[in-house]
Chain A
Amino acid sequence: MVFINSVYDILYFIISITPFLLRGLVNTLRIGIMSFIFGFLLGMVVGVCRVSGGRAISTIATSYVEVIRGTPLLVQILFAYFGLPFIGIKLSPSIVGVVVIGINSGAYQAEIIRSGILSIPQEQLDVAKALGMTNLQVMRYVILPQALRNIIPALVNEFVTLIKDSSLVSVIGEVELTRCGEYIISRTFRPFEVFFVVALLYLVVCFTFSKIASLLERRVRVPGYFKVYRW
């Protein structure tokens, strides 16, 4: 009886905190999706620059990747929120969340996009140029459409990592999913149930997105080319 009661109690508690957690989840998704898109655009520019820019541009692009990749995201967030005001740049936690995570993800996505571009045979580039296309046209019509198909799995990887890493903005007081959970715990002292539900919600989101991505992957598959890989 005691056991049944406690199960009932836990379920009731979980149901009662879920609406509040969902609000945090929406914020997590907002930060995640916006910073992913921002990072993607940034990564596209940087990745293309690393492959095809002149020496100066390529060096700048490489430095960006190395600096961002070589420092912890947590430190970057703290620096942007607590450090930048000292030189007059004051940003709200929610802006810091999107911008810093976006810049951070941009470095990783640049490398993903670069590897996608490098996976396209040299001849495709030669042929496209020989046909009279400008460098921009070659990228847009020949290289990127093929490269992007190849890197969908890696981009999904990056996206789910980013969704989970967005929990780090809780340290500067942005109320996303993890921060929501901590807030509930501070009121209820029930970390077991709360963190369990928080983790479950992350799992549901990430799993859903990877399913959507594999549907997308199947849709853009080129007949005869991207075969199912069999040993």
Chain B
Amino acid sequence: MSTVNIINLHKRFGELEVLKGVNLSVRSGEKLVIIGPSGSGKSTLLKCIIGLIKPDRGDIYIDNVRVTDPKTDLIEVRKRIGVVFQSNNLFYHLTVLKNITLPLIKVHKLREEEAIKIALRVLKEVGLEDKVDSYPAELSGGQQQRVAIARALAIKPRVLLMDEPTSALDPELIDEVLEVIERVSKREITMIIVTHEIDFAEDISDRIAFLDGGVIVEEGPPHEIIYNPKKRRTREFLRRVLRKRIPISANTHL
């Protein structure tokens, strides 16, 4: 488990200023959910944490390691962080098993037998032990995401980052992935999850942060953010993503 501290993070892409001073600290073992409209900088923020994007200003610390320090060995940082992206997580030319063992062997320098043992164990945890020899394109989107989660768990991460892990999925496949994440969230592991699944966020998170316009607009315990947001922007956003909860009668005049 690790703590993650983000201090006054700025990032601009040309004309577009994506992050305008993000401050966020995540306690060890905390499950933080980040919500926010598209283009608000959620993905950029996550990519900054693992050093895939270099911020213009500000700092990120994981435990006491300054990720934003140019002298920091990012590979050592990444070895302890599991990441699941929205889509295209798996290497299409490798079987499910190889997808999981490749980083274990090449990055973590495990022997092949050891890597296979770990891979089989994590696949079992996500309920896909029968798919070891399948190729990613032979799996459903939901199964692909579960393999990606298994791969992230295989390295025994201290921090797990998820960038909209269910946003690219067909509606009927979302639940199987959320169930797996929910099970993972019971573990002692620091998690930062970007998602639009508000019910899910309420269930698993210790805290929700609302990111909009490149800053954290509001953060707090899930029930407070969801049912009693203080800021107008948070309220408006939640109303948009929760539109399914609007009673049918309210729409009859349309």
Contact = CB atoms under 8 A, between A and B. Distances in A.
B173 interface: no
Nearest to A147: B93
Interface string A127-138: 111111110010
B93 A222 contact: yes
Interface in A116-149: 121, 123-124, 126-134, 137, 141-142, 145-146, 149
B140 to A, nearest CB: 11
Given A123-B85, A127-B91, 19 more contacts: A121-B88, A124-B88, A124-B91, A127-B83, A129-B78, A131-B102, A131-B155, A132-B79, A133-B103, A134-B75, A137-B106, A141-B91, A141-B106, A142-B91, A146-B91, A224-B138, A225-B93, A225-B135, A225-B137
A137 B107 CA distance: 9
A130 B50 contact: yes
How many chain B residues sit at the interface, stated as a range, is 20 to 34
A223 interface: yes
Nearest to B78: A132
Interface of B: 47, 50, 52, 75, 78-79, 81, 83, 85-89, 91-93, 102-103, 106-108, 134-138, 151, 155
Contacts of A137: 106-107
A18 to B, nearest CB: 44
B135 A224 contact: yes
A126 B93 CA distance: 16
Contacts of A132: 75, 78-79, 103, 107-108, 155
B13 to A, nearest CB: 14
Given A222-B137, A223-B135, A225-B136, A130 B83 contact: yes
Chain B contact residues: helix, strand, loop or mixed: loop
Contacts of B151: 131
Contacts of B103: 131-133
A75 B107 CA distance: 48
A131 B136 CA distance: 18
Chain A contact residues: helix, strand, loop or mixed: helix
Contacts of B135: 222-225
Contact of B93 (A127, A131, A145): A145
Nearest to B138: A224
8 contacts: A123-B85, A127-B83, A127-B88, A132-B79, A146-B92, A222-B137, A223-B138, A224-B137
Interface in A179-229: 222-225
B93 A123 contact: no
Of B83, B87, B88, B93, the most chain A CB neighbours within 10 A belong to B93
Closest 9 CB pairs of A and B: A224-B137, A123-B88, A225-B137, A224-B138, A132-B78, A132-B107, A130-B83, A131-B103, A223-B135
Of A131, A145, A222, the most chain B CB neighbours within 10 A belong to A131
A146 B88 CA distance: 13
A28 B31 CA distance: 66
A25 to B, nearest CB: 36
A141 B105 CA distance: 12
Contacts of A222: 92-93, 135, 137
B88 A223 contact: no
Nearest to A140: B106
A90 B135 CA distance: 53
Nearest to B79: A132
Interface in A5-22: none
A123 B148 CA distance: 13
A140 to B, nearest CB: 9
B107 to A, nearest CB: 4
Contacts of B138: 223-224
Nearest to A223: B135
Nearest to B53: A126
Nearest to B135: A223
Contacts of B78: 129-132
Contacts of A121: 88
A128 B151 CA distance: 12
A127 B75 CA distance: 13
Given A132-B75, A225-B136, A126 B107 contact: no
Contacts of B81: 130
A147 B98 CA distance: 18
Interface string A65-99: 00000000000000000000000000000000000
Nearest to A134: B75
